[in-house]
Amino acid sequence: MADPVLLDIAGLSLSLPSPAGDLQILNDITLRLERGRTLGIVGESGAGKSMLIRAILGLASRRARITGAVRLDGQHLGALRERDRRRYLGARVGVVFQNPTAALNAYQRVGPQVSESARVHRGLTKMQARELAISLLDRVGIPDAASCHDRFPHEFSGGMKQRIMIASALAVEPDLLIADEATTALDVTVQKEILDLLQILQQETGMAMIQVTHNLGVVAGRTDEVAVMYGGRLAETGPTPQVFAAARHQYTAQLLAAVPSLDSPPDRDLRSIPGQPPDRLIGITGCPFAPRCHAADAPCADRMPVLRRDPAGHGAACHHPPQDVPLPEQAR
């Protein structure tokens, strides 16, 4: 029996040198994803979600200093030569990006784009590639896939383009599909269709999935695990139902409280977290959320809380979790 752990991120840190000092983009990220499971990574813009994905894929800037280890299927990616890592990942990981209009090459027909990675990594012939592309297009719900093979991206709607992107990510039958804000640029109704499609495909193929998003609704019913990021750090992580039911980090609690509910009185203001996320990630020794946190005291600003997980894998890096210091009542 193969190791159930597919992706193992251990103590991953990433810093970028800058004139003002090293920017700590990612700080000691430790995460695990088992085969066939779904991990949601949530956080505001600048929390480090996309950089985490880039670091996993080996696409971070050449100037970036990376420590820690990323293992996919037991293979330590940092130990591979760049060319080998590229091929290893290209054949095992599919990625779907945010904006399908920009993520598809407008100058090439969609069919060849869908089958491209299988052509490159598996050496498919032209005929095989065509068959594969048509079957994938069909699978992601493109009507009349055979005739769509030779059309150009601009002939499709945004939702259709995202389906095409998903088809292209599936071409190598990946063990892991990364959806990096894959539904953010789409209409709400189309968002649901795409999320449903991803879920169905995951059930059919048994691949693991990472949903990167700033939308808690995407994470809620559709992920097994969730990782909440803030300021380049893991604020909280654990099984999704537990995190949503009993958040252990003030940031998570605030985020969840900010989600408007249909039950809340219509005249109530939407709840928000005061302040801005940190923009200069230099020389922060304490909790990055401290400046915005109602529960923060002096030690919070000095000392980074340690993330400890319970046996279920639920843990948060917070000195004063919401269990000790409840959220303030909302002002009317």
Query: Residues 45, 107, 143, 206: which binds other proteins (CB under 8 A)?
Result: 107
First-to-last alpha carbon distance for the chain, in angstroms, is 57
Number of H helices, E strands in the chain: 12, 12
Q: Which is nearer to other proteins, 142 or 182 (CB)?
A: 182
Verify binding: residue 157, other proteins, rule CB under 8 A. Answer: no
SS3 letters for 282-311? Answer: CCCCCCCCHHHCCCCCHHHHHCCCCCEECC
Collect all residues with Cβ–Cβ distance below 8 Å to 278 and sequence separation of at least 6: 46, 231, 284, 288, 291
Verify binding: residue 66, other proteins, rule CB under 8 A. Answer: no
Verify binding: residue 165, other proteins, rule CB under 8 A. Answer: yes
Verify binding: residue 166, other proteins, rule CB under 8 A. Answer: no
Q: Residue 62 class from Cβ within 10 Å (0-12 exposed, 13-18 middle, 19+ buried)? A: exposed
Query: Residues 18, 105, 264, 323: which binds other proteins (CB under 8 A)?
Result: 105
* Residue 285 in tokens: 């020794």
Distance CA 198, CA 212 (A): 13
Q: Which is nearer to other proteins, 71 or 248 (CB)?
A: 71
Query: Residues 103, 228, 281, 284: which binds other proteins (CB under 8 A)?
Result: 103
Distance CA 10, CA 33 (A): 12
**Which DSSP letter does residue 159 get?**
H
Q: Which is nearer to other proteins, 28 or 181 (CB)?
A: 181
CB of 89 to other proteins, least distance (A): 5
Verify binding: residue 106, other proteins, rule CB under 8 A. Answer: yes
Distance CA 224, CA 211 (A): 11
Query: Residues 79, 102, 200, 306: which binds other proteins (CB under 8 A)?
Result: 102
Q: Tokens 């420590």 correspond to what residue? A: 67
| Binding segment (CB under 8 A) for other proteins, from list 10-18, 99-107, 190-198, 282-290 | 99-107
Verify binding: residue 16, other proteins, rule CB under 8 A. Answer: no
| Binding segment (CB under 8 A) for other proteins, from list 20-28, 96-104, 202-210, 244-252 | 96-104
Q: Which is nearer to other proteins, 63 or 332 (CB)?
A: 63
| Binding segment (CB under 8 A) for other proteins, from list 3-11, 31-39, 82-90, 285-293 | 82-90
Segment (H or E) for 50: helix 49-57
| Binding segment (CB under 8 A) for other proteins, from list 23-31, 95-103, 198-206, 316-324 | 95-103
